[in-house]
Amino acid sequence: MNLRDAHQIRDAVNSGEITAKEVAAMALRRIEEANRKLGAFITCDSEKVLERSGEIDRKVKNGRLPLAGVPVAVKDNICTRNLRTTCGSRILENYVPPYNATVIERLEEAGAVIIGKANCDEFAMGSSTENSAFHPTRNPYDLDRVSGGSSGGSAVAVAAEMAPLALGSETGGSVRQPASFCNVVGLKPSYGRVSRYGLVAFASSLDCISPIARNPRDVALLLTYIAGRDRRDSTSVPLPVPDYFAEMSKPVRGMRLGIPREFFGEGLDPEVKSIIETGIRNTESLGCELVEISLPHTKYAIADYYIIAPAEASSNLARYDGVKYGFRVPDPADLQDMYRRTRSMGFGAEVKRRIMIGTYALSSGYYEAYYGRAMRVRTLIKQDYDRAFEKVDALLSPVSPTPAFRLGEKMSDPLAMYLSDIYTVTANLAGIPSLSVPCGFTKGGLPVGLQMLANQFEEGTLLRLADAYARACPVDAPPLKI
């Protein structure tokens, strides 16, 4: 038994071939073996994991469970009852939620085992998982390079076979980019498809809880059990969850796939471009038709995103002031001193940078000039996609302009770091689903992902296309460096 395939684990536990406790013990041994080098996890509670897996073993004696005994790594900005949830920040270093996020409730009802809390950039703000207050997460294909971010720990947990499934969160590419850097599949669902209740907010109009796995079938399995309306999240949509496996069985022959010319311009690494273009040509062998299209407002996307997201972050993070919960400085002179020193000491540099940008964009006299205008540009970006999907079934593009970069390479240059998200932020601004599927490796042995985008609530289309592509064009991966 390996920890690569969630379907295989589920079926083996349900049939009695292996117990959930044995699977959990395997995962915990692998985490102990690999995490020292990779830094994928912040918190693991072995005692609770084994206790939970024992419960699963008792339940399967009375009937099958759809995720029986499957270990799931959970990004550390998703609330887990009685299990520390830090958001990768000193300000929440000792926070233990008294409740579960909706997605955790649903996974546990299905029989999954939460194996641990995965490392992330602080409050999900970053593209490399170097902004974690605790430690960076390293790329399993090159330990001197980043894992991507902000869900780097979740992607590495799957890539390094510490768990077959993981949950991350997406605000501007935080699942697709680490999935691309780590040779796994990461799906950002449509905004509203998955409940955000229990996800610690970064930018409320952009955030999406998102599944990660080694193959599209396992992504579909995880999405099936976390998707759907939740009365506790007013932004979750009252639409039925499709049968994603029935969708994946449909043929892809005849699909029209758009190639947005704006995603292949200046700044795209030549080797990444070559790998992506080969992947795109390979879709023709599946019977798909390629169509060049234009998304003209893409050039405004990074500027637009880095007004909207920090503005919403400055509002959401105002609650971390030392009053109600989280870190508080000792012996403050007065209330103002407590606010100032708590936030100065509790937040890292990148979070403080974004809070200041966002507060400025929302300040009196500037709100309309910045946030108001950014929201109108966001509408134009959404309209670009609406017009594109009148002509095509899905779009294909790079995920990131480069493969995984070296640790520390972009930490002193925030703009260079922000440009890592240039091909991913538009999907969040438009609220559409998008995924990264493994496409190939550079000559230096670094993974490259192919991005697929579809219209709102067309996750089934993406999974069908990704599954057909992954089966027809398997990637020959080099061995992990651990």
- Which of 53, 89, 147, 150 is labelled catalytic? 150
In the DSSP assignment, the letter for residue 419 is G
Count Cβ atoms within 10 A of the Cβ of residue 84 and give its class: 0-12 exposed, 13-18 middle, 19 or more buried: middle
**AA identity, residue 82:** N
Backbone φ/ψ region at 438: left (φ over 0), alpha (ψ -120 to 50), beta:
beta
Instruction: Give the residue ranges of DSSP H helices in 334-456.
Output: 335-346, 349-362, 373-388, 414-418, 425-430
| Residue 150: active-site member | yes
Count Cβ atoms within 10 A of the Cβ of residue 375 and give its class: 0-12 exposed, 13-18 middle, 19 or more buried: middle
Given the DSSP bridges, would you call strands 185-188 and 434-441 parallel, antiparallel or unpaired?
A: antiparallel
| Residue 481: active-site member | no
- Closest residue by Cα to residue 467 from 175, 169, 182, 244: 244
| Residue 174: active-site member | yes
Count Cβ atoms within 10 A of the Cβ of residue 189 and give its class: 0-12 exposed, 13-18 middle, 19 or more buried: buried
Residue 85, both tokens: 């949830």
- Closest residue by Cα to residue 208 from 110, 90, 101, 359: 101
Report the distance separating Cα 440 and Cα 474, nearest Å. 9
Contact 113, 56 (CB under 8 A): yes
- Closest residue by Cα to residue 149 from 350, 412, 443: 350
Whether the link from the prior residue into 150 is cis, omega within 30° of 0, is: yes
**190 phi, psi to nearest 5 deg:** -60, 145
- Which of 174, 180, 190, 314 is labelled catalytic? 174
- Which of 75, 117, 188, 410 is labelled catalytic? 75
Strands (E), 63-207: 71-75, 113-118, 138-139, 142-146, 165-170, 185-188
Q: 380-398 burial by CB neighbour count: b if 16+ within 10 A, else e?
A: ebbebbeebbeebbbbbbb
Residue 190, both tokens: 């449509």
Which H or E run contains 441?
strand 434-441
DSSP string for 90-107: GGGTT---SS--HHHHHH
Residues acting as catalytic residues: 75, 150, 174
